[in-house]
């Protein structure tokens, strides 16, 4: 697509930062961690791989949506005053230098440092004769049979080139018939970095091996040259106006449509001839503005493979999570929860306590029922194994599986089928809304009566993310909260129009209004007002306007926002009492905490919702109040203060939407929390 030049307008309006610009700033901070030499070498590789996967997803979802708007003639302005076309121009201008920086970082810093550390990535020409012979045999036996060359020009139809695949464009000359172009896809079923010797750390990339042996695919044909490229396609989809009973088949169809989505961007190897570029652009219906020329490595996902190399000195020290003392000293988990509410802080506390909550429910003869929401659970799931065991033991088990969890649909479909086969009552949510809340309810028969226990979390029931994401979860037997949780489940799995709850804040019904109501309440305390909010993203204009008004009333506001933040802090007369900090470190900051001073009677909530329109208007989200005043004090004094004091992994947002790193003075909140549980951390 051809893009217009940006109209004569500021990049941001007076009140809001552009969401896409702010997200790009976040990914710039991720890239900075790959640059940061204070991080171990293999961890820097991981950050670089994450940077690229973030950018791929950004193009698959956000940029593809903007292209659809632009091509559809949509002229609706964003809150900061930009059209879709202007945003696409801004994105291209911001992203191109970042991609160049990432390529330079690999070529001139990380790859040479790997070599110094004894990890070498060899080219075919650098291999010894023996190594070339061994690799040629490996190609013949393991790669050639699973690789398929496909002629892409000239042909009658347009051959399909799959999303995110790494490919070789092979220019061929066949006698008098002229130039032809074939595509060879680098297969994904084998490690891309091939280890040359089991006793050392020398590697050859799979695409190098294929490139050196291309003649095997085209016997008797002259190969003029071969060049690497990869394609990013539209991977977003919508489910509209479908009956709930059709949702599973609709998701299955949409997964196919995602694979076939329209191309939105192509990366090509530097030096790719113009004639090849023109053919590929025509095949993929792309313009030159959609093409990124990369000097170096295409497809940085292979860096995850290098990051797993067994060299502990080049990685973060192993972190062993704490087992919550209050749980380990009780005769039973349910007894401990009955005595007091318990906060679990991942990954500093062990995810085992959450797995134990569900597994204990599965085996406890007093438990009669379990209800659970599942959003992202991963390929291996002890939680689901416990739910299956509970169903086999004759307990009533009901599970809400969100099939629209982007990029986890395949796992969720497979688990949903397995749960149904074992007799679990499985629901699939709503066609027009995602169920994003993280809830588990356990009902026990105690002394002839039923008592409900609940877990409400900021993160997913996934052991993999529990090791790398910071999340909070509340275990409680509070009767008002557990009754609310059961009523939310009735709304999710049955037919209920309930919109009001005793203690929970639930979107899309009342969550935004109740958060704004509390922001406005702080404004009545003027200079004594205090707000601290920790989020993944702050985008919702109504919430931002309420925070501006509170700042103007004298309230001191600290926002800890990992990703996109559309609020402009530090603007005189509007937001001079608002500070925005972003923390990017070893763990992905994923917990959401809402803290309000409330005139000396502080109030705190945790839950699944960010302040974004999609969360507040198009998702089922839940925030739970922390009713125990001692836990509220700990959240403020020991957790939020730790993040506010962090001066190692922190960045401060400027009023123009740019970020500057806080000078490193030696205190990392994440490092401190690994050494001391937040329940004991002192300031």
Q: How many CB atoms lie within 10 A of CB 480?
A: 14
Q: Whole-angstrom Cα distance, residue 267 to residue 459?
A: 34
Read off φ and ψ for residue 90, nearest 5 degrees: -60, -40
344-379 b/e (C-beta count within 10 Å ≥ 16 → b):
bbbbbbbbbbbbbbbbbbbebeebebbbbbbbbbbe
Interacting residues of 217 by C-beta distance below 8 A, sequence separation 6+: 144, 147, 149, 170, 182, 184
Bridge-based pairing of strands 449-457 and 438-446 is antiparallel
Strand 619-625 versus strand 603-607 pairing type: antiparallel
CA-based torsion, 505, 509, 513, 517: positive or negative: negative
Burial class (CB in 10 A: 0-12, 13-18, 19+), 296: middle
444 DSSP β-pair partners: 367, 451
> Which residues lie closer than 8 Å to 116 by C-beta, 6 or more apart?
none
CB of 647 within 8 A of CB of 666? yes
Give the helix/strand (H/E) hosting 93. Answer: helix 84-105
Helix, coil or strand: residue 139: helix
DSSP 540: -
Phi-psi region at 339: left, alpha or beta (left = phi > 0; alpha = psi -120 to 50): alpha
Beta-bridge partner residues of 183? 150, 169
Cβ-contact 350, 487 below 8 angstroms: no
Helix axes 409-421 and 247-259, enclosed angle (nearest 10): 150
Beta carbons of 48 and 31 less than 8 angstroms apart: yes
DSSP readout, 11-45?
Answer: SS-SSB--HHHHHHHHHHHHHHHHH-TTS-HHHHH
Active-site residue, from 436, 455, 509, 590: 436
Helix axes 19-35, 41-58, angle to 10 degrees: 160
Check if 455 is active-site. Answer: no
The beta-carbon contacts of 331-339 under 8 Å, at least 24 apart in sequence, are 332/360, 333/357, 333/360, 334/360, 334/364, 334/442, 334/444, 334/453, 334/477, 337/453, 337/475, 337/476, 337/477, 338/451, 338/453, 338/477
Residues in the chain: 683
Tell me how far apart the alpha carbons of residues 506 and 484 are, in angstroms, rounded to a whole number.
Answer: 10
Residues marked active site are found at 436
């Amino acid at each position: 697509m051809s893009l217009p030049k940006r109209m004569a307008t500021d990049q941001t309006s007076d009140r809001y930062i552009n969401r896409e610009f702010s997200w790009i700033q976040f990914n710039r901070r991720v890239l900075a961690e790959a640059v940061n030499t204070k991080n171990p070498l293999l961890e820097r590789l991981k950050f670089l791989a994450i940077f690229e996967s973030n950018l791929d997803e950004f193009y698959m979802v956000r940029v593809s949506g903007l292209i659809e708007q632009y091509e559809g003639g949509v002229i609706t302005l964003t809150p900061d005053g930009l059209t879709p076309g202007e945003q696409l121009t801004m994105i291209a201008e911001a992203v191109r230098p970042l991609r160049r920086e990432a390529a330079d970082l690999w070529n001139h810093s990380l790859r040479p440092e790997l070599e110094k550390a004894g990890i070498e990535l060899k080219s075919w020409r650098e291999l010894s004769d023996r190594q070339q012979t061994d690799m040629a045999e490996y190609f013949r036996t393991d790669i050639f049979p699973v690789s398929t060359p496909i002629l892409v020009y000239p042909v009658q139809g347009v051959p399909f080139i799959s999303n995110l695949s790494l490919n070789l464009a092979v220019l061929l000359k066949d006698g008098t018939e002229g130039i032809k172009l074939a595509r060879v896809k680098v297969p994904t079923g084998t490690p891309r970095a091939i280890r040359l010797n089991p006793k050392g750390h020398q590697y050859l990339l799979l695409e190098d091996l294929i490139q050196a042996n291309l003649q095997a695919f085209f016997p008797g044909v002259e190969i003029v040259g071969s060049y690497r490229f990869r394609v990013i396609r539209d991977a977003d989809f919508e489910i509209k106006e479908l009956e709930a009973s059709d949702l599973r088949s609709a998701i299955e169809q949409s997964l196919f449509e995602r694979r076939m989505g329209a191309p939105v961007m192509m990366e090509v190897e530097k030096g790719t001839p113009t004639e090849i570029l023109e053919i590929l652009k025509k095949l993929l219906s792309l313009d030159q503005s959609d093409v990124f020329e990369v000097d170096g490595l295409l497809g940085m996902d292979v860096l995850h493979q290098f990051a797993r190399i067994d060299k502990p000195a080049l990685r973060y020290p192993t972190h062993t999570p704490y087992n919550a003392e209050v749980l380990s000293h009780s005769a039973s988990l349910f007894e401990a929860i009955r005595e007091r509410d318990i906060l679990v802080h991942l990954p500093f506390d062990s995810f085992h306590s959450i797995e134990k909550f569900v597994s204990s429910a599965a085996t406890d003869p007093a438990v009669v029922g379990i209800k659970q929401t599942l959003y992202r659970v991963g390929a291996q799931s002890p939680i689901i194994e416990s739910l299956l065991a509970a169903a086999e033991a004759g307990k009533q088990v009901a599970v809400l599986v969100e099939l629209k969890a982007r990029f986890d649909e395949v796992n969720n479909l497979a688990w949903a089928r397995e749960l149904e086969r074992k007799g679990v009552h499985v629901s699939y949510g709503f066609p027009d809304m995602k169920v994003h809340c993280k809830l588990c309810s356990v009902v026990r028969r105690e002394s002839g009566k039923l008592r409900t226990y609940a877990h409400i979390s900021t993160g997913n029931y996934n052991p993999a993310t529990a090791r790398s994401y910071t999340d909070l979860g509340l275990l409680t037997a509070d009767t008002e909260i557990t009754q609310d949780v059961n009523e939310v489940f009735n709304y999710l799995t049955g037919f209920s129009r309930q919109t009001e709850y005793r203690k929970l804040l639930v979107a899309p019904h009342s969550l935004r209004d109740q958060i704004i109501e509390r922001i406005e309440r702080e404004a009545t305390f003027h200079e004594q007002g205090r707000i601290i909010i920790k989020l993944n993203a702050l985008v919702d204009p109504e919430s931002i306007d309420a925070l501006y008004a509170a700042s103007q009333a004298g309230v001191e506001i600290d926002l800890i926002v990992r990703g996109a933040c559309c609020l402009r802090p530090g603007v005189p007369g509007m937001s001079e009492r608002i500070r925005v900090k972003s923390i990017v470190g070893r763990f992905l900051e994923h917990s959401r905490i809402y803290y309000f001073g409330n005139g000396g009677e502080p109030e705190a909530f945790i839950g699944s919702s960010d302040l974004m329109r999609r969360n507040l208007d198009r998702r089922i989200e839940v925030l739970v109040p922390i009713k125990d005043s001692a836990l509220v004090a700990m959240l403020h004094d020991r957790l939020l203060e730790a993040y506010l004091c962090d001066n190692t992994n922190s960045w401060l947002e400027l009023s123009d939407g740019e970020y500057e790193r806080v000078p490193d003075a030696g205190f990392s909140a994440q490092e401190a929390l690994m050494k001391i549980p937040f329940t004991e951390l002192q300031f």
